[in-house]
Amino acid sequence: MEKTQLQALLATVENHEKYKDLDALNGSLRGYSSPASLLIQDGKFYLKKNSTSPLVELGDEIMVSIFAGIPAIGLSRAFFANGYSGGQTRPDCFSPDGITAASSNPVSASCRSCPNSQWGSGANSVGTACRASKNLILLLLKDEEEPDLVTLRISGKSITNLQRYVSQFEEQSVAVYKFATNLTLDHGSKYPVVEFEVVNIFVPEELKELKRFLDLPEVQEHLNR
């Protein structure tokens, strides 16, 4: 049987068990709240450092390390009465945990019983009217620059792509954050669809550099909120 890209990478490492002693890196990020975020607009990724900073265009392909998202951070939900128009459109109803609405005028107190979360409530009776999404915590890797710890919200087929991508790491009993992952956009889709592809495995020296970055006071400030 032909090897997957992940299996081929693992075969180049003499003993990938030695990476297990750095698994605490992943666990330390599960409560992280970052002021920086990645946005998808007009078929490109953009970095927004904080609420007042301008958008920085990154193009349609970026390299990251995925730190959390499955299952550390669950689904959230957002309903747009007039449809989602992209960018930073504000939802009419929102739930950060996919369980209870946090809006001032919720459609329903419970997401589970909300008519907008029922299958077939979406446009043309397809999908749901309320969009389910997931927040990922990523380390945005940049050539010869300090990385950025950011969040990225994905939904729809992007979540399916992520689950399929992460499952191959689970099958090999290796943590996904120990690998560089390429994020690209499916330009044939009407809505933003993120695709995931493994690029390379970090060597121990690189993982230690990631830990050095995570130990910076400004990063720890957000980790410990």
DSSP state, residue 89: P
**26 in Cβ contact with 75 (< 8 Å):** no
Mean pLDDT over residues 77-100, rounded? Answer: 78
SS3 at position 191: coil
Say yes or no to pLDDT of 209 above 70.
yes
Structure pTM? 0.71
14: Cα separation from own chain's centroid: 30
Residues 6 or more apart in contact with residue 203 via CB below 8 angstroms: none
Per-residue pLDDT reduced to its tens digit, 62-88 = 999 887 544 444 678 888 888 766 556
- Residue 190 is predicted with a pLDDT of 74
Coil, helix or strand at residue 208: helix
Q: Is the pLDDT score of 15 beyond 70?
A: no
> Which tokens belong to 168?
């191959």
Q: pLDDT tens, 122-166?
A: 877 777 888 888 878 788 887 767 778 888 888 878 888 988 898
Q: What is the mean pLDDT of the chain?
A: 76
Confidence check: pLDDT of 6 > 80: no
Yes or no: say if 138 and 66 are a contact pair by the CB < 8 Å rule. yes
CA distance 16 to 116: 45
CB atoms within 10 A of CB 213: 14
